[in-house]
Structure 1
Amino acid sequence: MELSGPAGPPPFVRLAAHEVRWRLLSALAHGDLRVRELVALLGEPQNLVSYHLRLLRSAGLVTACRSSFDGRDSYYHLDLERCADALAATGAALHPALRLFPAEAAGTPAGTPSVLFLCTGNSARSPVAEALLRHRSGGHAEVTSAGSHPKAHLHPHAVRVLRLRYDIDVADQRPRGLDTLTGRRFDYVISLCDKVREVCPDFGGHPRRLHWSIPDPAADQDGYPAFDRTAAEIDTRVRHLQPVLFPTPHQEVRP
């Protein structure tokens, strides 16, 4: 009996093997970016960058959403969960012994990184991110959130989703304003709102700036289910942030 010849490489390998697409994946791995920012980072023509982004979107690895700051612009986001699944399937396609298993969420903390999450009202997205990172890191991260135009209270749906889905109580928390953080230093400043990204001040100590383009669930007519979906997306991003904050001894992750 003759053995059949080897199959071609899995789709993820064919996609990621191209230099431009790999550089796009690498750039988007740490945060959401606009086309013009990707063009500047890669030093490639916009039409070439847009072409390869379309291929990555067709494969479901990259998604795009309109900017809430400027509706003529879009942010591109890398689906890290889908990439992880594709990488696992790639290893298994070569040999069953190479099947990848989920890595531990984080290494042993060597310090206490300080993280600031920002959105406009500090009533939903950024306090949800603050609560989830504090919860998932077991208190090993110093986490704060604030808003450029803070609301009077946290949105009740944000309080509810944290309590029901994650058993986290933030009912007594109040939104904070950016002006209350004067003189504070952070290792990471992460904006979750396209509008606040445009007005975020500079912080001392040169923190690493990341952007997560997440629509405001309060503007969604779906009500509570929109907050549930938003919290799930933020939780996924927080889980992928942890190995960056707490790298294992053999790795160093720098966005």
Structure 2
Amino acid sequence: MTDDLDRRAAAFAALSDPARLRIVDLLTIGDLAPKEIGAELGMPSNLVSFHLGVLEERGIIVRRASEGDGRRNYVRLRSEVFRTLEAEPIPVSGRVLFVCTANSARSQLAAGVWAQESDIPCASAGTDPGEVVNPRTVSAARRWNIPYVGEMVPRAFGEVKRAGDFVVTVCDRAHELLHGADHAHWSIPDPARTDSDSAFDDVVRELRERIADMLPRLATA
């Protein structure tokens, strides 16, 4: 883990310089000789050489001698480097369990959106479950074609939680009450406070964005 963090930190440090980013942008199209890079960017040869040296040291580029003019070399971008700059996926051996306070709105919608987008099983629960799911939750699920996960009945966190579940709190009260028992927290406003269809639609939109961001980070164990 430390080696991977060091590698990623070194790559990000190399890319923090605007000049090196400009070089990388050019190389996304094709291979270039250092002289061609200098001409394209209006950069003196000594600076081009310096920046290419940094990029090569960090494993972001490679050089290859020309088969034509043997005095020339071409620089190629190792695009696979950028695919490995993200953090390693987190293994999930159980379900993704979405938790809010009443389990009547945000957590129910989150589980439904997750079920649309991922094969990792999911569930929802509440730290203080209400008696029924908010009717506007049901309406929002219908408007957005969100499947019902389970029976759409509020259930308690202690009753639903299983070993191996990846717990995501979607309300601040639940996060603060669980004292670190969750693995991720999304501070999403309670739509029931506004009690309007637009507030529930806003929650769905935010959930879709957050779930899209989380999907690449989780993988079945």
What is the TM-score of this pair, normalised by structure 1?
Answer: 0.49
Q: CA deviation at 1:114?
A: 1.7
The answer as to 2:202 corresponding to 1:229 is: yes
Residues 188 and 178 (structure 1 numbering): CA distance in 2 closer, same or farther, change over 3 Å?
Answer: same
The RMSD of aligned alpha carbons is: 3.6
Q: CA deviation at 1:187?
A: 4.0
Q: Which position in structure 2 is the counterpart of 1:117?
A: 98
CA deviation profile, 1:195-246 (whole Å, cap 9, x unmatched)? 111111676xxxx71110001000125x110000111101111112111113
For 1:179, the aligned partner's letter is: G
Does the 8 Å contact 2:109/2:146 carry over to 1?
Answer: no
2-structure distance, mates of 1:244, 1:180: 27
Q: Which position in structure 1 is the counterpart of 2:137?
A: 158
Q: Which position in structure 2 is the counterpart of 1:131?
A: 112
Q: CA deviation at 1:171?
A: 9.4
1-structure distance, mates of 2:184, 2:151: 28
Q: Which position in structure 2 is the counterpart of 1:193?
A: 171
2-structure distance, mates of 1:186, 1:148: 18
Paired residues in the alignment total 147
Identity %: 31
The answer as to 2:221 corresponding to 1:244 is: no
Q: Which position in structure 2 is the counterpart of 1:173?
A: 152
Structure 2: segments with no counterpart, 5+ residues: 1-11, 30-76, 84-90
| Poorly superposed stretches of 4+, deviation over 2 Å | 93-98, 110-113, 166-172
Does the 8 Å contact 1:217/1:227 carry over to 2?
Answer: yes
Does the 8 Å contact 1:112/1:142 carry over to 2?
Answer: no
Q: Which position in structure 1 is the counterpart of 2:64?
A: none
CA deviation profile, 1:81-116 (whole Å, cap 9, x unmatched)? xxxxxxxxx88x934739x9xx9xxxxxx9864211
2-structure distance, mates of 1:161, 1:171: 17
Q: CA deviation at 1:169?
A: 4.1
Structure with max Cα Rg? 2
* More off after superposition, 185-194 vs 111-120: 111-120
Does the 8 Å contact 2:92/2:165 carry over to 1?
Answer: no
Structure 1: segments with no counterpart, 5+ residues: 1-12, 19-89, 104-109, 248-255
2-structure distance, mates of 1:209, 1:142: 16
Q: Which position in structure 2 is the counterpart of 1:94?
A: 25
